[in-house]
Amino acid sequence: MPEIRQNLVTKDWVVIATERAKRPEDFKKKEKSSEQLQEYEKNCPFCPGNEISMSPEETLRVDRNGKWQVRLIPNKFPALSRVGERIRTVQGIKRQLTGVGLHEVVIETPLHNMTTALLPYKDVCDIISSYKLRYNEMINDKRVEMIIIFKNHGEAAGTSLIHPHSQIVATPVVPSQVRERFNDAQKYFDENFECVFCKILCEELSEGTRIVTETKHFVAFIPYAALSPFHCWIYPRRHYSSFGDISEEEVSDFALNLHTTLKKYYYGLDNPDFNYVIRSAPTDLKNLDFFHWYLSIVPRLTKTAGFELGSGMFINSSLPENDAKFLREAKILG
Report the catalytic residues: 165
Question: Which of 137, 115, 134, 112 is CA-nearest to residue 124?
Answer: 115
DSSP letter string, 217-269: SEEEE--TT-SSTT-EEEEESS--S-GGG--HHHHHHHHHHHHHHHHHHHHHT
Residue 301 contacts residue 203 (beta carbons within 8 Å): no
Quote the CA–CA distance of 334 and 120 in Å, as a whole number. 9
Question: Which of 127, 163, 132, 318 is CA-nearest to residue 232?
Answer: 318
DSSP letter string, 82-133: SSS---EEEETTEEEE--B-EEEEEE--S-TT--GGGS-HHHHHHHHHHHHH
Question: Which of 111, 128, 113, 70 is CA-nearest to residue 271?
Answer: 113
For residue 221, give every residue at least 6 positions away whose Cβ sits within 8 Å of its Cβ, in sequence order, or none: 204, 210, 211, 212, 232, 233, 235, 324
DSSP letter string, 12-61: -EEEE-GGGPPPGGGGS-S--------S--TT-TTSTTTHHHH----SEE
